[in-house]
Amino acid sequence: MIRWGIIGCGDVCEIKSGPAFYKSENSSLVAVMRRNHEKARDFALRHRVPKYYSDADELIRDSDVDIVYIATPPAYHAELAIKVLKAGKPVYVEKPMAVSFRECSDMIDAAKKYKQKLFVAYYRRSLPYFLKVKELLDKKTIGKVLYVKMEFSRPPLPSDLHKDNQTWRLDKKIAGGGYFYDMASHTIDILLFLLGKISKVNGLTSNVGGFYKIEDTVSASFLFQSGVLASGIWAYSSPVQQEKDEIIIIGEKGTISFSTFSLNDIELEIDGKVISYAFPKPKHIQMNMIQNIINELNGIGKSPSTGETASETNRIMNEIFKNK
């Protein structure tokens, strides 16, 4: 039985991740932590967790905790992860892995130094939806991949329009960047998973809407080691009628279209015919990844998302935002 502790039991833990720790096989959630003692207690009571803390160090020292999940904002990931690793425990860190590539490297070095495992919550690598896309690519269903097009656009959130009510995700010191760091990191990571390493990247950023201080529009181009080129636009202040979430992989024989977040049907188009693949959106979207980690800790298989794989996403984002 793998016994989990959570540092930062906020909104992301309510449905996306938290219940998966006690619903997965050979797994239990034994302790949670939040700086607000009453909120930590409330989460523990609702999820039937036996222990709760307002001090991260206390949870890390708890001998009943085998592995720690860090679900705080990115600015605190590196410091907390290194503490967990130093305590002789593996760690599972929310994405993005840290606010900078340098911090990611520090975390990887600590994992090696203390001989512990470091996992990162790029859980799309474990979802059947994206594994189907990978299967189609691995079978060369569309032949040789030629290039990739990406577009993500959405209107500003209601909270974006009120400066006193804006999310911490728009504070560069806490989040590393804006919505791009928080959301597009998933897209970059899944492209790395599907198409391999990226050798070169160029990017432009702008604040078009003016609703907050940080960038709201990003364009980027990527060169994969395989020679495949990809280009994308991410816009977080678009008109509602322009809302889109689409990735198109173009090959010699056809195309594969899918999404990062909406999980719309995967569409395989060959010779003018379209084959659709539908996958239900999981209730606890991190559950597959968490089960992968549990299995690896029990000596069965490997998690597809590690410190090494996740740090590549940070490296690429750093390149896009260079000197900004």
pLDDT digits (tens, 9 = 90+) for 204-259: 999 999 999 999 999 999 999 999 999 999 999 999 999 999 999 999 999 999 99
Distance (Å, whole) CA 279 – CA 233: 26
Question: Are residues 138 and 116 part of one domain?
Answer: no
pLDDT digits (tens, 9 = 90+) for 176-193: 999 999 999 999 999 999
Indicate the SS3 state at residue 153: strand
Question: Are residues 160 and 101 part of one domain?
Answer: no
Domain assignment present for 233 = yes
pLDDT value of residue 322: 85
pLDDT value of residue 190: 98
Domain assignment present for 38 = yes
Q: What is the mean pLDDT of residues 77-94?
A: 98
Which domain CATH number covers 188?
Answer: 3.30.360.10
Question: Are residues 244 and 114 part of one domain?
Answer: no
**How many structural domains is the chain composed of?**
2
Question: Are residues 261 and 160 part of one domain?
Answer: yes
Lowest-confidence region among 20-29, 34-43, 55-64, 163-172: 163-172
Question: Are residues 269 and 154 part of one domain?
Answer: yes
Q: What is the mean pLDDT of residues 39-59?
A: 98
pLDDT value of residue 164: 83
38: domain range?
Answer: 2-124+285-304
Question: Are residues 172 and 68 part of one domain?
Answer: no
Question: Are residues 48 and 176 part of one domain?
Answer: no
Query: pLDDT at residue 324 above 80?
Result: no
Question: Are residues 275 and 140 part of one domain?
Answer: yes
Backbone phi and psi for residue 91, each to the nearest 5 degrees, phi listed first: -140, 145
Distance (Å, whole) CA 212 – CA 149: 28
Domain assignment present for 150 = yes
254-258, strands of its sheet edge to edge: 198-206, 217-224, 229-235, 145-153, 244-251, 254-258, 266-270, 273-277
pLDDT digits (tens, 9 = 90+) for 254-290: 999 999 999 999 999 998 999 999 999 999 999 999 9
Which domain CATH number covers 24?
Answer: 3.40.50.720
Question: Are residues 73 and 34 part of one domain?
Answer: yes
Residues near 161 by beta carbon (within 8 Å), at least 6 away in sequence? 211
Residues near 8 by beta carbon (within 8 Å), at least 6 away in sequence? 33, 34, 70, 71, 72, 73, 76, 94
Confidence grade of residue 67 (pLDDT, cut at 50, 70, 90): very high
Question: Are residues 98 and 8 part of one domain?
Answer: yes
Cβ contact 51:39 at 8 Å: no
At position 235, the amino acid (one-letter code) is A
Q: Calculate the average pLDDT of the chain.
A: 97
Domain assignment present for 243 = yes
Give the pTM: 0.96
Question: Are residues 196 and 180 part of one domain?
Answer: yes
